[in-house]
A and B are shown apart, each in its own frame.
Chain A
Amino acid sequence: MSLLTLSDLSVSLRGRDVFRDVSLSIGEGELVGLIGPNGAGKTTLMRAALGLLPFTGTSSLAGLSPSERARQVAWMPQSREIAWPVSVEDVVMLGRMPHMTGRRPSEADRARTEAALDWMELTGMRHRAATRLSGGEQARVLIARALAQDTPLLMADEPVAGLDPAHQISTMQTFGNLAQSGKSVLVSLHDLSLAARQCTRIVMLGEGRVVADGPPAEVLTPERLAHVFHITAWYRDTEDGPIYQPLEVIR
């Protein structure tokens, strides 16, 4: 079953085309990495898919009612806002809001919050004010919040930026586990190695369109890296998985 279908999606902001005619579909059990240079439209693509900004074309999520959409997709924006010194546990519990009928969280709400705290290794700091944590810790809290929403699809805008290497890997592995359980995740990221090693599929944005869409090894070719990212990269398929190391900028 498709969790997200975009057809001929185009967005213009202030008279400038950000991208045109993007079509893609995400099914169950996928961990999709969205890559592209700065300004390629990764954030805009995800926000348009959610229906948070005006677009032409169709998105299967944008047509849903706000409350129905909140049960289909969780969204972690790039700007990591936590306005008040709310406890970590309370922030993560906010993810249960679309599922809560009464004022009090149910057993299931508590269990899911607990699991999300556990996955992001936050149980030890659950009572601390989220605003007093470091930037990387706040990012983990917000990822846990999105995980607590427990939706078929999770969309996250650069969730691992600013995380230490261990948490970058474990976060991507958490997403991978979600994908193995039949859910799907769409993440934008800049770390090509991480994308190549953890994602089941990569969508490359550039020049206002989808340049390539497919398994990491097929998408991340030297020609495309040169053409879209203006870089050369060292690439080896090792026994520990593929490794990309960007080397030089091509002007």
Chain B
Amino acid sequence: MSRVMIPLGLLVAALMLASLLIGPAGVGAGESLAALIGGDGGPLTLVMREIRLPRMILAVMIGGSLGLAGAAMQGYLRNPLAEPGLIGVSGSAALGAVLAIQTGLAAVFMPVLPLMALAGALGGVTLVMLLAGPRGGSLTLILAGIAVSALAGALTSLVLNLSPNPFAANEIVFWMMGSLADRSLTHVWLALPFMAVGVAILASLGRGLDALTLGEDAAEAMGVRLTRLRLQLVLGTACVVGAGTAVAGAIGFVGLVVPHILRPLVGARPSRLLWASAMGGAAMVLAADIAVRVILPSRDLKLGVLTALVGAPLFLHLILKLRQERI
């Protein structure tokens, strides 16, 4: 276990530091850290505490929880192509946020947007659970997730379609690309409770996911309560994805690619993959968020665009590798 966790931990720590130190202000490392910790009340302290610190914390929280949720979802569905967005929560959270922007409420009071996104996520997960039923298997969950995703996507398109205000439409499109720019500690405090609950639920699923390696029947006979496991998975994923989408928009591919890359390094055991994947997800989002600041700093490159740009080819490569193995 530590064979993978120690290097991953060091990588995350290094990236956290880099995330704090890299930015357009171009100040020395020692000076920046002194301003962050010491706090002389000057402009540098403000930059460090109000801009870079929340950004770094959010990258760790969102990346880590997306990686964790992706590993749990893949373990539950026993499918390496599963990802946390599958249950429709990111789509319905986005719908809530889009409505906040469209109605103009987001401009009135800052936390309205994330709060409405959280409400959207709650509505989405409730609908998924109603559709999937209390005792259904994994297939009904996937179908319910697809149905809710499609519905949320359609409604989001409808809002854009009917939007009389081109500025709002523009803002919606950019928001949906996902970003950590200009986030404050308020965002951190808004997301933190949901993420803490979600991470605690998901991290407890290791044993059940290990048993599921042998199929639902064998796992149930080994004492795993499958209906409870499914409920925990859906609620945990909804908490972290809902909160993540609410504060940062849609950031794709992290929950899909990271577990896939790390699986061979942990002996493919779903329980060991959970924490490794959380670390890997944090590293990926931290790195991507540093990259958007370094590449085209003046053009406001969006984080979600970058993760998709990096994630998609990486994923294609993994599929090709899988195909070669199967043949």
Which partner residue on chain A sits nearest B226 by CB separation?
A66
Residue of A at shortest CB range from B270? A84
Cα-based distance from A47 to B213 in the complex (angstroms): 19
Contact residues of B between 194 and 234, Cβ < 8 Å to A: 207, 210-215, 217-218, 220-225
- Asked if B224 contacts A66 (CB within 8 A), the reply is yes
B78, CB-defined interface residue at 8 Å: yes
Contact partners of A85 in chain B: CB under 8 A = 264, 268
Interface SS of A by simple majority: mixed
Q: How far is the CA of A47 from the CA of B269 in the complex (A)?
A: 27
Any chain A CB within 8 A of the CB of B263?
yes
User: Taking A70-B222, A97-B222, A98-B223 as contacts, is the C-beta distance between A145 and B214 under 8 angstroms?
Assistant: yes
A215 proximal to B (CB < 8 A): no
- Residue among B214, B217, B223, B263 with most chain A CB within 10 A: B214
Contact present for B223 and A70 (CB under 8 Å): yes
Q: Is the CB of A77 within 8 A of B218?
A: yes
Min CB–CB distance B258 → chain A (angstroms): 16
B267 within 8 A of A: yes
A95 and B221 CA atoms in complex are apart in Å by 10
Contact B214 A70 (CB under 8 A): no
Q: Is the CB of A70 within 8 A of B221?
A: yes
CB-CB under 8 A for A94 and B213, given A52-B221, A70-B222, A149-B222? yes
Judging by beta carbons under 8 Å apart, are B222 and A82 in contact? no
Interface size, chain B (Cβ < 8 Å): 22
A86 near B267 with CB under 8 A, answer yes
Q: In the complex, which residues of chain B have a beta carbon less than 8 angstroms from the beta carbon of A149?
A: 222
Whether, in the assembled complex, A166 has its beta carbon less than 8 Å from a beta carbon of chain B, the answer is no
Residues of chain B within 8 A (CB-CB) of A50 are 221
CA distance A169 to B207 in the complex (A): 34
Residue in A73, A75, A76, A82 whose CB lies within 8 Å of B213: A82
Which residue from chain A places its CB closest to the CB of B223 in the assembled complex?
A70
Chain B residues whose C-beta falls within 8 Å of the C-beta of A73 in the assembled complex = 221
Residue of A nearest to B218 (CB): A77
Q: Is the CB of B222 within 8 A of A91?
A: no
- Looking across the interface, which residue of chain A has its beta carbon closest to that of B207? A97
**A interface size (C-beta, 8 A):** 30
CA distance A67 to B224 in the complex (A): 8
Determine which of B212, B213, B220, B221 lies in contact with A91 in the assembled complex, contact meaning CB atoms within 8 Å.
B213
- Chain A residues, Cβ within 8 Å of B212: 83
Contact flag A91-B263 (CB < 8 Å), given A66-B225, A98-B222: no
> Which single residue of chain A is at the shortest CB-CB distance from B217?
A77
0 or 1 for each of B218-255: is its CB under 8 Å from A? (1 = yes): 10111111000000000000000000000000000000
How far apart are A80's CB and chain B's nearest CB, in angstroms?
A: 8
B269–A97 contact, CB under 8 A? no
**A75 near B225: Cβ-Cβ < 8 Å:** no
CB pair B269 A90 closer than 8 Å: yes
Chain A residues near B221 (CB, 8 Å)?
A: 50, 52, 69-70, 73-75, 77
Known contacts A85-B268, A87-B267; is-contact A94 B217 (Cβ 8 Å):
no
Chain B residues lying within 8 Å of A86, measured Cβ to Cβ, are: 213, 267-269
CB-defined A-B contacts under 8 Å, sample of 21: A52-B217, A52-B221, A66-B223, A66-B224, A69-B221, A69-B223, A70-B222, A75-B217, A75-B221, A76-B218, A77-B215, A77-B221, A81-B78, A81-B213, A84-B268, A86-B269, A90-B267, A91-B214, A97-B207, A98-B222, A129-B268
